[in-house]
Structure 1
Amino acid sequence: MKVLVAHNRYRSNVPSGENRVVDTEMAALASAGVGIVPYLRSSDEIDAMTLAQRLAVPMQPLHSRRSVAEVEAMIERHRPDLVHLHNPFPLISLSVVRAAHRHGLPLVQTVHNHRHSCMRGSYFRDGHPCHECRGRTLPWPAVKHGCYRDSHAQSVPMAAAFLVHRGDQRAVDRYIALTDALAASLVDSGLVTADRVTIRPNSVPDPGPFRAPGTGLIFVGRLTDEKGVPLLLEAWRRSGGPFGTLTVVGEGPGRGLVEAAGRAGGDVRVLGSLEHDEVGAALDRAAALVVPSTSP
């Protein structure tokens, strides 16, 4: 079996669990004897673009002529059995659904967040849950709130892309959802019936033999409200830090809040962004990983 995997990688200066999941899955499939044909674009490409090309990037979610042409060329060259799409934004676009079907190939999409219906991908904005766009063909509230990249201007073409590609979203042959909540979100959005959604959690490589736990707690992730960073810091403050040190690994707009907690003497340590192996070592030193996310 041969699979063409299409994914728009997030910027390298913003550590992405989604990028890591895609890499891990491709490696696992390859080790099982599945032929992998990777079509990987990256948002890092934007920095090397000309001014005219950068100005056109917000329109790429509507239709990426380059990505469609490249995917079709790879289909003709490698003859895969199916296309597996992960993140299509902003450089690939959902037009690849039609490209796959034109060649008689089924297309499966793994949804790693709620961006099938929510521009932010989290059903969370301004410090609280938000479901104003769920089920809408035209997500106008997201434009009003400037949800895509915190920009009203960039939210306009993204809303148009949601409208234009509603049929493509419904034409996806099967969705893979990481959680029950994501599966329910797909169904509630009116995109698909439950029988076309498979729930499959992320996988991780075997960590090896059991090792005795370390000390303290650790958080690993983007430092944002929806990841529960303010909630975690408040809970830590109220508890008096009975578990030793709280180690925070990651970057994001909430870094200042974490650093302030450390300066306040709450035994909070900020490591910032780390390489994958360094994250593993930090996890080994902790007693437990804490996941305070406030967004499903």
Structure 2
Amino acid sequence: EGIPVVQTLHNYRFFCPSAHLFRNGRNCESCLRKKFPWPGIAHSCYQDNRITTTLVGIMLGFHQIFKTLNTKVDIFIALTQASKEKFIKGGLPGHKIIVKPNFVSPDPTQGCGTGNFGLFVGRLIPEKGVQTLLNAWKKLRYPFPLIIVGEGPLSSLIQKTALKYPHISWLGRKSSLEVRDLLGRSSFTIFPSEWHEPFGRVVIEAFSKGTPVITSNFGAMAELVDHGRTGLHFNSGDSSDLANQIDFLITNSHLRQQMRVEARKEFERKFTADHNYEQLNKIYRKTMSIDTRELKTVSL
């Protein structure tokens, strides 16, 4: 009792049973601002099971009714401004939310980018935009190797596609060191996620190796990647637009090299362990010194 509480918000579980704001291939906000997440229960959003979803719903309803999150947590940390806006929309008090991104440690240092391939790293699930990526690769004007790293429910689809298209390779799960090596050697990384990612760790890991990122043009992804400087945006879910952006980057080697320099600079400015430590210390000091009931804005 009386000890300040700081909580980092990694997903949307506080008001969405699935935690992803994503249902049936589309972004979904049906449970936002509801005392009880009836839509999520009706659609069995947690583990595709109505019973387990109901149990999660009871927990969420309890927190909503008794406002435990609003009253028991002094400061929330959101990983991006985009996710902060979603949390506010979900009912968390905006004056208690501070934006502090994740970081990469230890610093893996600049990569060479001479591997001549595109790279996808992530869980193989629909909301990660895997199908959009595969469709885009089939539409490229210039055949170019794609390496996919990860496992998940869509693994069999990836395996079948890789057998049919020789330019697509699936490596399954790899260690963190192996992933960072691939990130450093890749020409660019693709982050085609279609749900409201609170962050995008793969993006900053790519930046740490100086690798530009092609990403969806909304939410945290668009916030992290500066279009034309550290990577490119494409219309989320649009495989033709993604193919166009990939073709553009493949044929502009000079721009890729410029982006590599800028991506590494972006990492050094925002996503190092030292920078994160400074931000976190400021947050902790503010939490111990302010009365959040009277707080209007929190800035770093």
Aligned to 1:197: 97
Give the 3-state SS of the residue equivalent to 1:117 in structure 2.
coil
CA shift for structure 1 position 129: 1.4
**Counterpart Cα distance in 2 of 1:241 and 1:176:** 43
Aligned to 1:32: none
Which one of 43, 56, 66 corresponds to residue 158 of structure 1? Answer: 56
Aligned to 2:125: 224
CA shift for structure 1 position 255: 1.1
**Cα–Cα, structure 1 residues 130 and 212, in superposed 2: closer, same or farther, change >3 Å?**
closer
**Cα–Cα, structure 1 residues 241 and 151, in superposed 2: closer, same or farther, change >3 Å?**
farther
Which one of 3, 6, 9 corresponds to residue 111 of structure 1? Answer: 9
**Cα–Cα, structure 1 residues 241 and 118, in superposed 2: closer, same or farther, change >3 Å?**
farther
Give the 3-state SS of the residue equivalent to 1:277 in structure 2.
helix
Which runs of 5 or more residues in structure 1 are unaligned?
1-101
Q: Letter of the 2:53 partner, please give it.
A: S
Matches for 1:248-259 after TM superposition, within 5 Å: 248-259=148-159
Provide Cα deviations, 1:104-132, integer angstroms capped at 9, x if missing partner: 11111111122221121211111111111
Aligned to 2:47: 149
Structure 1 length-normalised TM = 0.62
Matches for 1:181-196 after TM superposition, within 5 Å: 181-192=82-93, 194-196=94-96
**Counterpart Cα distance in 1 of 2:113 and 2:37:** 49
Provide Cα deviations, 1:48-71, integer angstroms capped at 9, x if missing partner: xxxxxxxxxxxxxxxxxxxxxxxx
Which runs of 5 or more residues in structure 2 are unaligned?
197-300
CA shift for structure 1 position 212: 4.1
Give the 3-state SS of the residue equivalent to 2:42 in structure 1.
helix
Give the 3-state SS of the residue equivalent to 1:232 in structure 2.
helix
2:145 pairs with 1:245 = yes
Aligned to 1:168: 68
Which one of 163, 184, 194 corresponds to residue 263 of structure 1? Answer: 163
CA shift for structure 1 position 185: 1.0
CA RMSD of aligned residues (A): 1.5
**Counterpart Cα distance in 2 of 1:114 and 1:105:** 25
Which one of 161, 181, 190 corresponds to residue 281 of structure 1? Answer: 181
- Is the CA contact 2:113–2:185 (under 8 Å) kept in the aligned structure 1? no
Give the 3-state SS of the residue equivalent to 2:134 in structure 1.
helix
Which one of 19, 25, 33 corresponds to residue 135 of structure 1? Answer: 33
**Counterpart Cα distance in 1 of 2:17 and 2:127:** 14
- Is the CA contact 1:262–1:268 (under 8 Å) kept in the aligned structure 2? yes
CA shift for structure 1 position 164: 1.1
Structure 2 length-normalised TM = 0.61
- Is the CA contact 1:106–1:173 (under 8 Å) kept in the aligned structure 2? yes
**Counterpart Cα distance in 1 of 2:15 and 2:157:** 30
**Cα–Cα, structure 1 residues 273 and 134, in superposed 2: closer, same or farther, change >3 Å?**
same
CA shift for structure 1 position 284: 2.5
**Counterpart Cα distance in 2 of 1:266 and 1:140:** 46
- Is the CA contact 1:138–1:162 (under 8 Å) kept in the aligned structure 2? yes
**Counterpart Cα distance in 2 of 1:210 and 1:127:** 35
CA shift for structure 1 position 169: 1.6
Aligned to 2:112: 211
**Cα–Cα, structure 1 residues 212 and 114, in superposed 2: closer, same or farther, change >3 Å?**
same
